[in-house]
Each structure stands twice: as C-alpha cells, then as structure tokens.
Amino acid sequence: MEKTLLFLKGFESIDDNFKNKFDKVIANQDYKKNLEEKLIIALDRFDELAKADALFKFFVAHINNEITHQEFLHYLYVLDKADFHNIEKFLNFYASNEDFTSDSRLNSFAFVGLLRLVTKLDQTVFGKNEFGSKFLKILGLLA
C-alpha cells in the first residue's frame, strides 16, 4: 500500500501539460488497462519504497515521450531487479572519469543492462553504456 501511495503522490506535482498528455494516452482503453496492469504488478514486486518513486519518474518520462514504451517496460524490469542499496556506487561510477570497474556490488546493474560487460586482460569488468546513463538522468541523479 505504501509503495502505491508513494507512486500516486507524484501526481501532486504534475503540470497541465503533463495532464493533457496523460489524458491522451489513457484515452485508448486497451492501452490504459495494459499500463495499469504493468504498474500494479511492478509496484507489488518492488522490494524497496525508493523504487516506487523511481517508477513514477520513468512513467513521466514515458508519457512525455522521452522513452519509448519498450524502454519503459525494460526500465520496469530494471527497477524490479536492480539492487537500490548500491545505487550510490552505481552513480559514483557513472559520475567518475573511470571507463571500467570491477566492483562486484554493481553486478545487479550489469545483469539488467545498465552496464556493459567487457573482457579486459582476461577479466570481465563493467563499462558504462547509454542505457545506464539514461537511467540515472531520468532519476535526476546525473546531469
């Protein structure tokens, strides 16, 4: 219940432009039903409250056509599987000048596609990619 309330709280700060876009999207009843189902399932599966707030940000990005429907669905999967306890480590790597890291605390981010796997000197390490960068930008964590 808390996760759902946190998600819905995001609607308190939306503007008229977003409301108009949202109304257009939900005018298609089949799409509206599908979207509702995806959101309910995602919120139910989340293991951390912070993910509900993050979901709202991706929802807004989707409604504003900043990400496609397929990207939105991929980000739903990412939010479900990524370990938000290590989001600071993930952000710090992206904000750094380093191209690669072998920090095992970032495994969950790599295995959902937010980092690329690179073999370097017979060792697999993590590298940055556009999907991970976009993820952090939508969350408002990276400029």
Question: SS3 sequence, 33-66?
Answer: HHHHHHHHHHHHHCCCHHHHHHHHHHHHHHHCCC
| 93 shares a domain with 76 | no
| 131 shares a domain with 66 | no
| 88 shares a domain with 62 | no
| 91 shares a domain with 50 | no
From 29, 57, 81, the end of a domain falls on 81
Q: Would you state the pLDDT for residue 52?
A: 94
pLDDT at 143 over 90: no
| 116 shares a domain with 138 | yes
Q: Would you state the pLDDT for residue 1?
A: 80
Counting residues of the chain whose pLDDT is more than 90, the rounded percentage is: 80
Q: Would you state the pLDDT for residue 122?
A: 85
Q: Would you state the pLDDT for residue 127?
A: 97
Residues 77 and 74: their CA atoms lie apart, in Å, by: 5
* Selection from 1, 143, 130, 140 nearest residue 57 by Cα: 140
- Burial of 73 per CB tally in 10 Å (0-12, 13-18, 19+): middle
Could you give phi then psi for residue 121, rounded to 5 degrees?
A: 55, 50
Confidence of residue 91 (pLDDT cuts 50, 70, 90): very high
| 62 shares a domain with 98 | no
| 17 shares a domain with 71 | yes
What integer best gives the mean pLDDT of the chain?
A: 93
Residues 11 and 125: their CA atoms lie apart, in Å, by: 39
pLDDT at 7 over 90: no
From 33, 57, 81, the end of a domain falls on 81
Taking CA 128 as the corner, what is the angle to CA 123 and CA 131, rounded to the nearest 5 degrees? 130
Domain interval for residue 34: 1-81
| 60 shares a domain with 12 | yes
Q: Would you state the pLDDT for residue 13?
A: 86
- pLDDT tens-digit series, residues 63-87: 999 999 999 999 999 999 999 999 9
Q: 């039903």: which residue's tokens?
A: 33
- pLDDT tens-digit series, residues 24-60: 988 999 999 999 999 999 999 998 999 999 999 999 9
**118 Cβ contact list (under 8 Å, min separation 6):** 100, 124, 125, 126, 127
pLDDT at 139 over 90: yes
Two structure tokens written together for 114: 């937010």
